[in-house]
Chains A and B, each alone.
Chain A
């Protein structure tokens, strides 16, 4: 019992991080049908921005978080403009190959300039441990911070997407680019904003992960990047609630599998679940295969 509660706590934290990254995957996929494989590396860059600001400038948690989100949103827009926009009318496979190249570029430019070694993320949040059940369940305040920040960001995202003009334009472009253009929407601008928002969320996830695991390294993006992609597909790629659901689902499954079967198998289990779910529900857990009326 205590172990299950402990794993749930850990799973929710891990799931928050997956969910934040998965949102960027799903938003970009929704709008230009691209699996942006560089997205995990944007998250890595976000972690490094957080690392640099806290270590060298001594900034606190919230300012670093915000600065990292801003930096990542700019990086996301730049990547889109330089690498993806010129390929707007190319085949999906060339776009995908470009995304993989951007991913490798970001990883190795970091290795080149700062080296491959793992660095320690400073403890900018004092961690207070609250124990339950005579110390067998530990709730770290970090867990609470991660969940609260994640929820705030998700509410903000929901607000932007459903209540603001740019958010409505994002949904319209995702549904029908040409029709949106008929309405006078500048489609390129909307795509750029979508990258900005998705990347900002990845940047936040990067800082949260630095705080949670206390380490950052240039290749840290590939594992969680892939998992978050799995999460997005699990929930139904292109669907914002799907990414959130898939993220938490995967985080919980992973921690529970690590606790009971050994952590060696957790990735295998994650992918096995992905395959099973896609066999049964190809559109993902929250996806519907409804035909639209024409």
Chain B
């Protein structure tokens, strides 16, 4: 589905991503774990075309997308659910979902997809005319994910969906991520909540100061001594 090859990204003089290699197969849930400032969001923004790499390759289904704009990448079937949810606060839930379908022109099936989102997130349906800014944090995260799904992505990038949410809501959101994946969407999940992410994912990458430190089967990493010490017990 997606492959990053020797990806280098800079913010001015700051070398934020150092030769990142990463691969996501069709249908997988892959998680990218790391501490604050490790470069997780930078990785996602580079994949979705918001940042341009200095060198290296981003291949989406074998096609190099380095030079494509963010809107073009959305059209190719990738959705990015940004860190901090970033719902359109002064637009209704409904309008937020419509914005998610911005690159599509098939009005009829957009309506059907909105219905599907309401099945997946019944809480959103009850609030469909409410301004997104007045939703609770958990509801906003659900809306952000639903909005991302409205573009009918093959691959969805989720940037810290658990951020700032109560454990019970986080559980709910992770269950939904599992469902989304079962329905056929490949997932790249960025998390600081390593424990939960490793339990959910098939494979994992651990990023530290812009470099991939470790990669492997999620269940193996969950048992790994070093990983436990660095990311799970403290």
Partner of A183, one of B89, B90, B140, B151: B151
Interface size for B (C-beta < 8 A) is 33
Stretch of B26-34, B96-104, B183-191 on the interface side? B96-104
CB <8 Å contact, A181 and B50:
yes
**Nearest-Cβ distance from residue A87 to partner chain B, whole angstroms:** 19
List B contacts of A183 (CB < 8 A): 74, 99-100, 102-103, 147, 151
CB <8 Å contact, B86 and A293:
no
CB <8 Å contact, B91 and A175:
yes
Partner of A179, one of B74, B88, B137: B88
Cβ of A292 under 8 Å from chain B: yes
CB <8 Å contact, A294 and B88:
no
List A contacts of B140 (CB < 8 A): 293
**Nearest-Cβ distance from residue A203 to partner chain B, whole angstroms:** 28
Residues facing A in B129-146 (CB within 8 A) are 133-137, 140
CB <8 Å contact, B99 and A172:
yes
CB <8 Å contact, B82 and A178:
yes
Cβ of B17 under 8 Å from chain A: no
CB <8 Å contact, A184 and B103:
yes
List B contacts of A181 (CB < 8 A): 50, 70-71
Partner of B102, one of A171, A176, A185, A293: A185
Residues facing A in B64-102 (CB within 8 A) are 69-71, 74-75, 79-82, 84, 86-91, 95, 98-100, 102
Chain A residue nearest to B157 in the complex (CB): A182
Measured between alpha carbons, how far is A175 from B99 in the docked complex, in Å? 12
**Nearest-Cβ distance from residue A127 to partner chain B, whole angstroms:** 43
Report if A168-B98 is in contact (Cβ < 8 Å); known contacts: A175-B90, A292-B133: yes
Chain A residue nearest to B84 in the complex (CB): A294
Cβ of B48 under 8 Å from chain A: yes
Partner of B91, one of A165, A168, A178, A185: A168
27 contacts between A and B (CB under 8 A): A169-B102, A171-B90, A172-B91, A175-B91, A178-B82, A179-B88, A180-B99, A181-B70, A181-B71, A182-B50, A182-B70, A182-B74, A182-B79, A182-B80, A183-B74, A183-B99, A183-B102, A183-B147, A185-B99, A185-B102, A292-B89, A292-B133, A293-B134, A293-B137, A293-B140, A294-B137, A294-B164
| B interface residues, Cβ below 8 angstroms from A | 48, 50, 69-71, 74-75, 79-82, 84, 86-91, 95, 98-100, 102-103, 133-137, 140, 147, 151, 164
